[in-house]
Structure 1
Amino acid sequence: MDCPTSYYLRLRGRHLLLAAAIPFASCKKEESASGPPPPPAVSVVPASTRPVDIVRSWTGSLDGSVNVDIRPRVSGYLQSRGYSDGQTVKKGDLLFTIDPRPFEAELRQAEADHLKAIAQRTKAEQDVARYRPLAEKRAISQEELEHSIQAHEAADANVAAALAVIDQAKLNLGFTKIYSEIDGVAGFANREIGDLVGPLDSKPLATVSTVDPIKVSFQVSEQEYLQAKRKREEVGKPEVDIPNIPVGLILADGHRHPQPGKLVSISREVNTYTGTFELTAHFPNPGNILRPGQFARVDAVMGTVNAVLVPQRAVSEVQGAYQVAVVADGKALIRPVTVGQRSGTDWVIETGLQAGENVIVEGLQKVRNDTPVEASPWTPPSAPEQPKTEGK
C-alpha cells in the first residue's frame, strides 16, 4: 500500500508537467496560424544606357621639360654662389664663380708669349731682308738664305699659336663664371664655397629644370596602345605618330590640374621587362606649382560608347568578383557582372546585364538567389542643402 506522502508527491508532479506543456502547445498553434514570413522588401531601379566617355588612366611621374646639369668646364676652387636653392633663374643668370686668379695669370703669360713670338718673327723678317741681297752677291750661301726664310715662316706659326693660347686662356677665364643655360628652377647645390671642383666630378654643381611646361612620363601597356591605334583606324582618323589627344592630370591630393596637357612623344620600342610603351606629355604650369619628382594620375578620353549603367551601391564585390541582384518574376537572381569605369555615382557594366533590367539597390543583404522579394522603385537620395551663410 502506498504511503500517503508518496501519493501526494506523484500527484503534484503530474500537475507541474501539465502546466509546463500548456504554453508550448499554445505557441505551436500561434505559429501554424501566422504562416511563413513575408518576402523581404527591396528597392530596385532599371539599368540605364547613355553615352559615356571611355577614360583610361595611368600613373605618371613629373620631371622638368628640360633638365640641365650645371658642371664646371675648368678646375678650381668655388669662390661664390649667385643663387639660392630652389630659386627661379633666367638664362644667363650667374650661378657659380670659380677663383679666377690662376686663369688671369695664365692669360697674362699667354699674352707675354705672344709678344715674344712677335719679336722673334720680326727678327726673322729682318734676317731674310738682310740675307737676300747677300745671297744674290754670293756673299753667303743659298742654304743660309733658305734657313732664314724657314725661320721666318716658323716665327709666323709661333705667333699664330700664341694667339690660340691667348684665346684658350680667355675661354678658361670666362669659364670661371658659370651661368644658367635655360630659364627654370635651380636645385640644391651639391658643392659648397671653397670646394675644389672640376669637369670630371661625378655630381654636377646643381641642376636647373624648366618646369613650365612640365613633363609627365607614364607607361601604357602594349594592349592599350594597339586598341587605341585600331579605334583611330575604325573611325577614319589620320594615322600619325603622336595623336592629338588631350590628357588630364589628377594630383596626389585628388585635385585635377586646371590646365590640360598634350602628348609630345612615344618611345620607339616596347620595354621587354614591363611590356609597356613610355609616353610623355607636357602640361602648362603657371606659378611652378608642379615640381619634378611628384607622382600623379594621367587620364585621357579614348572615345565614347553607349554603356549600361547602374548605381554603384547596386554592385557588390565578393572575393574579387562583382555581382548584382536582378528582380525577375518576383524573384531575386544573383548575377556575376564585369564592371568598367565609374561615371559619377554610377558604374559601367560591360557584361552580365541588359538595359532595362531591374537591379536591387537597397536590401541586397536580405536576399538570396532565386528567392521571392517585394520590389518597389528606388528613389535616389537628394543632395544635402548647403547651409546658408548669414551676413554679419
Structure 2
Amino acid sequence: MRALKIVIPLLLLSACAGEAEQPAPPPLAVEVVTISGARIPNVIELPGRVTAVRKSEVRARVTGILEQQLLQDGSYVREGQPLFRIDPRELRASLAQSQASLQRAQATAANARAVVERYRPLVAENAISRQEFDAAVAASRAADADVAQIRAQVQAASLQLGYTTVRAPISGRAGRAQVTEGALVSQTEATLLTTIEQIDQVYVVFSNSAQDVLAIRRAQADGSLVLSEGGGVPVTLTLPDGSEYPISGTIDFLDQSVNEATGTVELRARFANPEGILLPGQFVRVQVEAGYYTNGIAVPQVAVTVTDKGGTVYVIDDEGKAQVRPVKLGAMFDDKWIIESGLKVGDKVITNNLQKLQPGAPVTIATPSPAPSRSPTPASAPKSAAPASSRAE
C-alpha cells in the first residue's frame, strides 16, 4: 500500500509533464495577394427607374357624349390616328349657325361698300355733305370688322367640331381607355381618355448622393480619376430577374441642383429598347462606368466576407498573424471587389482558408507549387523521325 501511494503521484506528475511538452500547432499556410495600385474602372451601382422618352395624356378638348372608341387597349398607334369619337351633332349645328352669321355679315359689308362707292362722286359735286360720306365709310369699315369677327367664330367652331374626333398626338403604345362609350366627357375638366408612351427609346432615372458626386469631381480634378475618352459615360443595366440588359446606354442629363429632401443629384441615361423589354415604371440596377482610377485597389471576391455591417478581409500584420480588417466595398468587376477604403498599398490580403482562420492566429505564406516539368523524349522514338537539324534544313 505504501508503494502504491508513492507510485500513483509519480505517474500523475509524468502525465502532466507529457501534456505540457506537446508542441504548439504549426502556423496555417495561406495564399495572399499583395495590394498594389492598379488601373480599375470606377463603377457606381445605383437603383434606377425606367420612364418613357415621351408620354402624352390624351384628354377631351370638347364637352359631349363619347360615341365610339376606335383604338384597342394596349395597341400601337400612329401620330394622327383617330382614337375616340365624341358626338358631333351639337357642334356641327353651332358651326352651321356661325357660317350663316358670316354670310349675313358679308352681305351687310358688301352693301356698305356699295353705298360708299355711290357717295364718292356725289361728295365731289357737293351733292351730299362730307359728313354723310364719312358716315358711310365708317359703316363700311364696321361691316368689314363684323365679317372678320364672325369668320374667326366660324374657324373656332370648325376647330371644336374637329376635336370631336380625338387623334393620337404622338406615336407609341396606348394604355387602357379611361372612359367607355356613352360617358360624358368634359372640356372644362379635361377628362383623361387614355395615355400614349413611346418605349422604343426609354430613360432610366437614378440619383447619386451629392457627396459622391463631389468626390468624383475632386478625383477628376487631381488626376486620380480619368474619364473615358470622348466624354461619354457608358451605363449598363441589371434587370429585376438578375439578368443583364444586352444594350448599353449613355448619360444624357445631370441635374445642376441637389434635392433638399434627399441630398441627392438626379441623373438620366437613355437606352434603346427595340424589343420592349424595358417597361415604364420598372425598377432596375444601374452600373455607371465613370472613368477609371489610376491607382485603385481591388481584391479577389473570394477574399471578402460580406456581412450586414459591410465587408471584411483578413490581412497579415507585421508579426505574421491574421487580423480582420473592415473595408468599404465598391462595385464588382470581373471577379474582384473594388475597395473604396480600409486597405492600402503593401497590405497582404489572405485569399484562402478563411473558415479556418481566427483573429490573431499565426499564419505562413504558402509558396506556389512549381509547374510540372515536361517528360523527356523516350529513347525508343520512331526511327523515321528526322533530327531537329534536318527538319530545320
TM-score bucket of the superposed structures, by smaller chain: 0.7 to 0.9
CA RMSD after TM alignment: 3.8
Superposition deviation, residue 56 in structure 1: 0.7
Matching of residue 227 in structure 1 with residue 219 in structure 2:
no
Are the equivalent residues in 1 in contact too, given 2:250–2:269 (CA < 8 A)? yes
**The 10-residue stretch of structure 1 (344-353 or 53-62) with the greater mean CA deviation from structure 2:** 344-353
Residue 177 of structure 1 deviates from its aligned partner by 1.4
Mark the CA change 1:125 to 1:344 in structure 2 (over 3 Å): closer, same or farther: closer
The answer on 1:43 being equivalent to 2:33 is: no
Q: Which of 23, 34, 44 is equivalent to 1:56?
A: 44
Question: Structure 1: which amino acid aligns with 2:286?
Answer: V
Indicate yes or no: 2:78 matched with 1:117.
Answer: no
**Structure 1 counterpart of 2:19, which letter?**
S
Compared CA separation, residues 200 and 278, structure 1 to 2 (3 A): farther
Tell me which residue corresponds to 1:323: 312
CA contact (8 A) 2:317 2:323 kept: no
CA distance in 2, matches of 1:153, 1:267: 56
Aligned residue number for residue 255 of structure 1: 243
Assess, with a 3 A threshold, how the Cα gap between structure 1 residues 58 and 175 changes in structure 2: closer, same or farther.
same
Determine which of 151, 154, 164 is the counterpart of 2:152. Answer: 164
Preserved contact between residue 170 and residue 196 of structure 2 (Cα < 8 Å):
yes
2:82 match: 94
CA 1:178–1:321 in structure 2 vs 1: closer, same or farther (change >3 Å)?
Answer: closer
Give per-residue Cα distances to partners, 1:141-174, cap 9 Å, x unaligned. 7655554443333322222222222111111111
Cα distance, 1:244 vs. partner?
A: 2.5
Q: Is the 8 A contact 2:30 2:353 kept in 1?
A: yes
Q: Which residue of 1 aligns with 2:329?
A: 340
Give the deviation of 1:318 after TM superposition.
6.2
2:379 maps to: none
Quote the Cα distance in structure 1 between the aligned partners of 2:308 and 2:115.
103
1:151 aligns with 2:139: yes
Return the alpha-carbon distance in structure 1 between the equivalents of residues 246 and 192 of structure 2: 34
The letter of the residue matching 2:353 is G
Match of 1:390 in 2: none
Q: How far does residue 43 in structure 1 lie from its aligned partner after superposition?
A: 3.4
Q: 1:139 & 1:330 partners in 2: Cα distance?
A: 129
Q: Which residue of 1 aligns with 2:372?
A: none
Q: Give the direction of change, closer, same or farther, for the CA distance of 1:207–1:332 in structure 2 (3 Å limit).
A: same
Q: Aligned partners of 2:275, 2:301: CA distance in 1, in Å?
A: 38
Q: 1:94 to 1:377 in 2, by over 3 A?
A: farther
**Cα distance in 1, alignment partners of residues 265 and 183 from structure 2:** 43
Three-state SS of the structure 2 residue aligned to 1:287 is coil
Deviation for aligned residue 1:294: 0.8
**Which of 312, 328, 350 pairs up with 2:301?**
312
Q: Does residue 371 of the first structure (1) align with residue 361 of the second (2)?
A: yes
2:169 is the alignment partner of 1:211: no
Letter of the aligned partner of 1:262 in structure 2? T
- Report Cα offsets for 1:188-226 as digits up to 9, x if no partner: 222222211123326522221222211111112212222
Which is worse superposed, 80-89 or 114-123? 114-123
> How far apart in 2 are the matches of 1:231 and 1:355?
18
**Could you say if the C-alpha distance between residues 297 and 40 of structure 1 is closer, same or farther in structure 2, counting changes exceeding 3 Å?**
same
Say if 1:47 and 1:308, in contact at 8 Å, map to a contact too: no
363-372 or 272-281: bigger deviation: 363-372
Taking structure 1 as the reference length, the TM-score comes to 0.77
Identify which range, 137-146 or 330-339, moves more after superposition: 137-146
Tell me if structure 2 keeps the 8 A contact 1:42–1:362: no
**1:302 correspondence with 2:290:** yes
The one-character-per-residue Cα deviations of 1:289-335 (angstroms, maximum 9, x if unpaired) are 21211111222222323444433333335672543333468843213
Task: Identify unmatched segments of 5+ residues in structure 2.
Answer: 370-393
**What SS class does the counterpart of residue 288 from structure 1 fall into?**
coil
Q: Rate the CA distance shift 1:126–1:347 in 2: closer, same or farther, 3 A.
A: closer
> For the structure 1 residues 63 and 236, does the alpha-carbon distance in structure 2 shift closer, same or farther, using more than 3 Å as the test?
same
Letter in 1 for 2:44: R
Of 270, 275, 299 in structure 2, the residue corresponding to residue 287 of structure 1 is: 275
Q: Is the 8 A contact 1:335 1:352 kept in 2?
A: no
Rounded to whole Å, the distance in 2 between the matches of 1:55 and 1:202 is 46
TM-score, normalised relative to structure 2: 0.77
Question: Aligned pair 1:276/2:264, yes or no?
Answer: yes
Secondary structure of the 1:116 match is: helix
Using the TM superposition, give the Cα deviation of residue 368 of structure 1 relative to its aligned residue in structure 2, in angstroms.
Answer: 3.0
Separation in structure 1 between the aligned mates of residue 70 and residue 181 of structure 2, nearest angstrom: 11
Contact 2:59 2:190 in 1 (8 A): no
Percentage of pairs with the same residue? 34
